[in-house]
Amino acid sequence: MGLKTTKAFDKPTLKRGQIFFISALLLLFGSGISVFAQTENSRRPELIRDTEASEETADAADVQTPKEPNPLLAEQNINIGNFYLKKRNYSAAIQRYLDALEYQPNSIAAYEALARAYEKSGEVTKAIAAYKELIEKNPESPKISDFRNKLAKLEKKP
């Protein structure tokens, strides 16, 4: 068939044309198989729904369990919120500050940052509410006069 053997090893060797022909066949059939595999996998799977299980998860999603106090997670959320605030992604920052308040409900830093984020996003009424809640929950804070001044300035804005 055109195979030559070398005397040193007595193994058959292929000619250059035969190697080209075999590699062309591999490429041709190999790509055909991958195209077939892609069309099979690109079809969207049908949804299988177990109604009892899906209703249970829907009911569980409606009821939120209160998070256990965790100052470390609160601080992490505040730091991430500060990052978003610097990037001017106010909605993400607000969400992080709200998450921090779930982990530490009396966090002065979280309330102050939340009010600042609301103010920068243009939601002045929510900023006012955040400052009022901060003052109400932390009346002994050493910064209480600063918070009252900021609240008075925000209430004067139209």
How is residue 12 written in tokens?
A: 């058959």
Model pLDDT for residues 75-115, shown as the tens digit of each residue: 999 999 999 999 999 999 999 999 999 999 989 999 999 99
Within this chain, do residues 83 and 138 fall inside the same structural domain, yes or no? yes
Within this chain, do residues 36 and 89 fall inside the same structural domain, yes or no? no
Model pLDDT for residues 14-72, shown as the tens digit of each residue: 677 777 777 776 666 765 555 455 555 556 556 555 555 555 555 555 556 777 888 89
Q: Check: CB of residue 110 under 8 Å from CB of residue 101.
A: yes
The one-letter code for the residue type at 56 is: E
- By three-state DSSP, how is residue 156 classified? helix
What is the domain extent for residue 125? 71-156
Cα separation, 102 vs 110, in Å, equals: 10
Within this chain, do residues 38 and 75 fall inside the same structural domain, yes or no? no
**Residue 124 within any structural domain of the chain:** yes
**Residue 85 within any structural domain of the chain:** yes
